[in-house]
Amino acid sequence: MQNFVFHNPTKILFGKGTISGIGPETTVFSNKVLLVSGSGSIKKNGLHRQVTESLQNAGADIIEHPGVQSNPLLSHVRAGIKLARTHHCQVVCAVGGGSVIDEAKAICAGALVDHDVWDFFTGHKSISSALPLTTVLTLAASGSEMNCGMVITNVETSQKFGFADKFLFPRTSILDPEATFSVPADYTAYGAVDAIAHILEFYFTTADPSTPVQDRLMEGLIINAMESCDRVLADLHDYQGRADLMWTATLALNGLTGAGLGRTGFPMHMIEHSLSALYNVPHGAGLSAIIPGWMRHQSVITPGRFAQFAERVFDCRDGSVEERARMGITSLLNWFEKVHSPTSLQALHIPCQDIPRIAENALALAKVWSMSDYDIGRIQAILADC
Task: Report CA-CA distances (Å) from 356 to 49, 242, 264, 366, 381.
Answer: 47, 39, 26, 15, 10
Question: How far apart are CB 354 and ligand NZQ at their closest, in Å?
Answer: 20
CA distance 323 to 319: 6
Please answer whether residues 259 and 208 qualify as being in contact, where contact means their C-beta atoms are separated by less than 8 angstroms. Answer: no
Nearer to ligand NZQ, 32 or 171 (CB): 171
Nearer to Zn ion, 25 or 194 (CB): 194
Nearer to ligand NZQ, 146 or 327 (CB): 146
**Mind giving me the DSSP string for 31-46?**
SEEEEEE-SSHHHHTS
The DSSP letter of residue 346 is: G
Length in residues, the chain:
386
Candidates 108-116, 138-146, 289-297, 331-339 — which segment interacts with ligand NZQ by CB under 6 A? 138-146
Instruction: Indicate which single residue of 60, 127, 253, 345 sits in contact with ligand NZQ (rule: CB under 6 A).
Output: 253
Residue 102 in contact with Zn ion, rule: CB under 5 A = no
Question: How far apart are CB 54 and ligand NZQ at their closest, in Å?
Answer: 17
Identify the CA nearest to 34 among candidates 62, 56, 57: 62
Nearer to ligand NZQ, 277 or 383 (CB): 277
Instruction: Indicate which single residue of 96, 110, 170, 258 sits in contact with ligand NZQ (rule: CB under 6 A).
Output: 96
Nearer to Zn ion, 63 or 365 (CB): 365
Identify the CA nearest to 292 among candidates 254, 239, 241, 346: 346
Host H or E run for residue 172: strand 172-175
CA 209, 210, 214 angle in degrees (round to 5)?
120
> Which residues from 101-120 bind ligand NZQ, rule CB under 6 A?
102
Q: Which x/- pattern over 190-219 shows residues binding Zn ion (rule: CB under 5 A)?
A: ----x-------------------------
Which residues are at the interface with ligand NZQ (CB under 6 A)? Answer: 38-41, 45, 70-72, 96-100, 102, 138-139, 141-144, 147, 149-151, 179-180, 182-183, 187, 191, 194, 253, 269, 283
